[in-house]
Amino acid sequence: MTLPSSFAEPFGDDIGCRVLDIGSSSIRFGYAGEDCPRVITPSYLGYQAELSENEPVNSAAVTPNESIANGSANKSQKPSGSYISGLGETINWLPNVDVVNPISEGKISDWEAYEACWELVLGEGDHSNSSPFIITSYPWASKKEREMIAELCFEKFQIPALYIGNQATFTGFSFGKPSCLVLDVGAGTTSVTPIYDGRVLDGLQYQTLGGEDITKYILQSLKTKFEYDPVPHYLIQTKQPGLPAGQIPNLTIRPHDVLKDSFTSFMKNRLIQDFKETTCQVCETAYNEEFLKPRPSKSYEFPDGFNSSFSLERYEYGELLFNPQKFIKDAQGNPSTYLPISGLIQKTLEAIPPELRAILCSSFVITGGTTGMQGFNDRIAFDITNQLYQSRPKVTAPSSTAERCYSSWLGASIMGSLGTFQQLMVSSRTYKDVGSKAIHEQFN
């Protein structure tokens, strides 16, 4: 894995790397050698276009957070404006603010917003550019994407050295497993990555189905089964206390014509995220309604006062990942073409050499925030045992949902703390002399 001597440039043993891990749900940033990120913040950013003199501003709305970047021309066809950070802590509305995300379907789709994420973490962390950077990327990232990341790092932020590594390898390293099978279920994607001796093997499988799709399905289910559409708390002027279960609240809603649809949608999704984390559960065996009916229900109350008991529904929502054909239909009503998680695992195992299958199944690593639902690990073990192999796999996962969200960052932090890791980096001088060839040679 070392660079040719013409590419490598020593930086000394104490290189003080910084680690940046940008996912579709959150950004993790910190220093190599530390056991958790210093900054964990949503990768969703607000974007507020500059208003004309005649355009109204809601004086009652909360003052927007500090802008972190100015919109630049022709990057994403946005009107001139500024980015807003801190949406994870926002409890009031932000007028005339669109919510954007640099990551879409497992790819960097908005480079202007991606650059704004960099400025966000550099603003909250160390402003100096004297330290090398380790950047994580999706295992399926294209060469062009890595080129553009390097261009941003070296030409915009003037960093001295760079390493771009894939998230799955870093996740395995965080568990001390250079050979493993990594199942990552994040907000926007589900992937299965086979890794042997630190290298990604042929057989990587991923699809654009993840936690955000569960959120959308829950919202749809609440509308169809309960005739209920959650109302974010900042829109509620008055509400009825102590509503009977299942009764739709009679609310007085504040005027909100200055709110963008993307902002309202983002805030609704935050409500559902809390519901999902506290109420939803994955069935530990094959989904069977008769088996689940005797299980106790759970009650949940939304901020607008609507409350209900959820029984089968709370198992059904997580089943979206394990049986998407049953619960997801296309516009014509046909079953989804998404594969269940067991199907992705099977395709991966079929693609790798037979002699490695048992080795990788004995080191099965689960990561990603969506895997934090109760029963998830047991369901994975059940599906593999009953559908793919006779023996029960050894499943490893972080004990907390928070750790599942930054295991790739942690692996990069561990690697970056090694003195010999400098040999794997591309220096700014090498990049200036060689260009993108250095990136392709090192991060293939």
Question: Which tens digits make up the pLDDT trace of 217-256?
Answer: 999 999 999 999 999 988 999 998 889 999 999 999 988 8
Q: Give the range among 8-22, 98-112, 278-292 with minimum mean pLDDT.
A: 8-22
pLDDT for the residue 5:
33
Question: Which domains are delineated in the chain?
Answer: 18-169+407-442 (3.30.420.40), 211-327 (3.90.640.10)
- Residue 80 pLDDT > 50: yes
Percent of the chain at pLDDT above 70?
Answer: 87
Eight-class DSSP state of 53:
T
pLDDT for the residue 126:
53
CA atoms within 13 A on the CB side of 55: 9
Label residue 53 by pLDDT band (50, 70, 90): low
Label residue 130 by pLDDT band (50, 70, 90): confident
What are the DSSP calls for 123-186, one per residue?
HHS-----S-EEEEE-TT--HHHHHHHHHIIIIIS--SEEEEEEHHHHHHHHTT-SSEEEEEE-
Contacts of range 119-122, beta carbons closer than 8 Å, 24 or more positions apart: 119/68, 119/69, 119/83, 120/27, 120/41, 120/45, 120/68, 120/69, 120/83, 120/85, 121/20, 121/27, 121/29, 121/39, 121/41, 122/157
Query: Which residue, chain included where needed, has tokens 């001088």?
Result: 429
- Give the residue, 302 or 123, on which the prediction is more confident: 302
pLDDT for the residue 56:
45
pLDDT for the residue 57:
42
CA distance 103 to 105: 7
Question: Could you tell me how far CA 382 lies from the centroid of its own chain?
Answer: 25
- Residue 381 pLDDT > 70: yes
- Residue 108 pLDDT > 80: yes
Q: Residue 196's beta-bridge partner residues?
A: 199
Q: Give the range among 58-67, 83-92, 120-129, 418-427 with minimum mean pLDDT.
A: 58-67
N- to C-terminal Cα separation, the chain: 10
Q: What's the mean per-residue pLDDT of the chain? A: 86
Q: Give the range among 58-67, 148-157, 222-231 with minimum mean pLDDT.
A: 58-67
Element (H, E) at 270: helix 261-279
- Give the residue, 7 or 79, on which the prediction is more confident: 79
Q: Residue 133's beta-bridge partner residues?
A: 18, 162
Query: What are the start-end ranges of the H helices in 280-375?
Result: 289-292, 312-318, 324-327, 341-351, 354-361
pLDDT for the residue 331:
67
Label residue 129 by pLDDT band (50, 70, 90): low
